[in-house]
Amino acid sequence: MVVIHSYGVAVFLAFVTMLCWGSWANTQKLAQKHWPFQLFYWDYAIGVLLLALLLAFTAGSSGTEGRSFLADLAQADGKSLISAFLGGVVFNIANILLVAAIAIAGMAVAFPIGIGLALVLGVITNYAATPLGNPVILFSGVALVTIAIILDAMAYRRLSNSSSITSAKGIVISLLAGFLMGFFYRFVAASMATDFVNPMAGKLTPYTASVVFAVGLLISNFVWNTIFMYKPLTGEKVTYKDYFVKGDTKLHLIGILGGAIWSLGMTLNIIAAEQAGFAISYGLGQGATLIAALWGVFIWKEFKGAKGVNGLLTAMFLFFVVGLTLIIVARLY
C-alpha cells in the first residue's frame, strides 16, 4: 500500500483533509432548496463508502510496503474491526446533527461551533492516547481555536434575520454535534497500527480502517437517519418513498459527491497520522472550521445584513489561523 515517510507530506495531507472536510457541506447547500437534508444524507453515506473502497483497491492495494487491503482485512481481529465500525456509528449521529445545524444556522455557524468543539475534544482524547508533540504549544493552539468558536457564536447572535429561538436551536444542535464528533476519531485510531510499513498483526492499516468506518456509517444510517426522517429537527417529515420518487439524478450525484469529498479527507488524514500523530493530524484536519466559515461568509453570504459583526469575524479568522499554526508547530518541538 502507499504510505508516507515525512512530516511535511503529512501536514500537506492534513491540509487537503481540511479543504475536503470544510468544503463537502457546499453540496448540501446546493441541494437543500430541493432536497431535505435527511434524503441528501443517504447519498452522502453512499459516497463515503464508494470513495473509501476506491482508495482501498487502488492506493491501498499497490506498492510493496505494509499490507494490501484484502490481506489486511482478512487478518484483522474482531476488536479492531468493531472499533473502526463504532467510529462510523458515532461519527454518523454527530454528522447528521451537524447537517441539521447547517440547515438551521448555516455553514458559517454550524462548522465553527460544532467542528471547532470536535477539534478541541478530539485533540485532547487523541493526545492522551498517543502523546506526540509539545503539549504547551499544541493546547495553546487549541485554546485559540476555542476563542474563535466563541467569537463566531457571538457574531451569529447579531444576525437580524435570526430569532432568538432559532439562534439558540442552531447553536445547541451544533454543540451537541461537536461533542459527539470529538470522540469518533479515537475509535478509528484505536483500530489502527501505529507502524504502517510493518503493521502489527490484528490491527488495521488506514485504507482498511477507512472502509470499515464507512460501513459502520452506512449501516447505522438505517437507525439514525430513519429517526430524523420521521422525527425531524427542522422541516417536514420525509419517507423512504420520497428518496426514490422526489430525487433526480443530479440531486443524488450531488450527495454522493459530498460524501466522496469527505471520505477522501478522512483517508488522507489517517494516512498522515503515522508521521504527525493522531492528535495533530486530527486537529489540522478539523481546521475545516476555518474553510467552512470562509465559504459561509464570502460565498453563501450567511452574515449578509448583520450589523457590527465584521470585527468579530475578522478576530475569529485570526484566532483560527494562529491556533492552527501552533498545532502544526507543536510536532516540531
pLDDT digits (tens, 9 = 90+) for 217-245: 999 999 999 999 999 987 889 999 999 99
- Tell me the pLDDT tens digit for each residue of 182-230: 999 999 999 999 999 999 999 999 999 999 999 999 999 999 999 999 9
- Report phi then psi at 143, rounded to 5: -65, -40
Arithmetic mean of pLDDT, 66-85: 97
pLDDT for position 109: 75
Listed in sequence order, the residues at least 6 apart from 13 whose beta carbon sits closer than 8 Å to its beta carbon are 4, 268, 269, 271, 272
Q: Which band of pLDDT confidence, cut at 50, 70 and 90, is reported for residue 164? A: low
Q: Three-class SS of residue 195?
A: coil
Helices (H), 159-205: 164-190
C-alpha cell at 233: 429537527
pLDDT for position 294: 86
- Tell me the pLDDT tens digit for each residue of 47-64: 999 999 999 999 999 999
**Distance (Å, rounded) from C-alpha 253 to C-alpha 294?**
24
Q: Three-class SS of residue 204?
A: strand
Listed in sequence order, the residues at least 6 apart from 77 whose beta carbon sits closer than 8 Å to its beta carbon are 201, 202, 203
Q: Three-class SS of residue 192?
A: strand
The percentage of the chain sitting over the pLDDT mark of 90, rounded to a whole number, equals 68
CB 262 within 8 A of CB 17: no
CA dihedral 193, 199, 203, 204 (to 10 degrees): 80
- Partners of residue 192 on adjacent β-strands: 204
pLDDT for position 253: 96
Place of cell 478576530: 315
pLDDT for position 159: 66
